[in-house]
Structure 1
């Protein structure tokens, strides 16, 4: 009994000292910063919307369509016969076509198949006629303008865009250059994929 009484003050002392000591703050734990996560991928638009948006973006990115009108380089009475220039002209037209076709027919026209059949860009009768003047010394585009539009601005813009991206076309033979040093062509671009940008619809001129 005595030993129990002797232990009591010690237990009380221990209890008092524990209650009096302030609670220790928890040590801060270092948390490694997680690497930034990439933004979630946006759902890709459906195919038809993508093609239409691409066409509209082309329309917005390029300057206003230039209608040749009375400023056409080719006018009645200012041309001379091609004669011996027919063969080198035909060869040069093929060179130009080989650069335009992948951009206009293989890319642009092919992309329109993703649009509804009733879309204005899928009208097979669309035709844009342009006047092209190519610098004879280096084949760059000296000038390009629309002679007759298709009635669908996006289609007309796509024609001009294909021409601008396809140039330069390389040095032109002296025999096909006009007096101003340029090569002058009127070219029809068709929505019909069979006709598209065929050289059958390219009309060369040599100007006085």
Structure 2
């Protein structure tokens, strides 16, 4: 189904495929066991990106400003792909209902409708609008820790706790003791009620026999 849909496109298709050959592959479909995804997405001729919707792939597509088509399968992919449509940076397709026509129409829509690329480029601009780059921030905090002798003021309270305090064993033992006492009380009460009922039953039998 994917091959037939891709074969009708006026574009070359790069497909990550884990085998040496793809049966039915047409000339416009190029396969490879590994692709430099991040670098490829930044190529100016890339028109769209079909993905399962993983977080890393989504982030790389946003960084490159490439419209998305998501086909989620598990985990966080469903949440991520729903966001594609909410932010109007791509489309969501269902694996159970996808057809050649639906896939082909989705590809043409995200490519031909400039709003998808415009929206994802705006999103990229917002995400990258920071006071300093991530690398610069990492360098600054590293130097901050070095300047202040290990920066003990940044350490969380748990760093100075014993393992017993950290695991709150006093609370665990208290709850465990309460559970044991409650269980023992219920068992003893049930035993007492059973013995009383059994004793009355025996007395009734004796009276009837007498």
- Normalising TM by the smaller chain, what interval? under 0.3
Q: State TM-score, norm by structure 1.
A: 0.18
The higher-RCO structure (CA 8 Å, 6+ apart) is 1
Which has the larger Rg?
A: 1
Structure with a larger share of its residues in strand: 1
Q: What TM-score results when the alignment is normalised by the length of structure 2?
A: 0.18
Which has the larger share of helix? 2
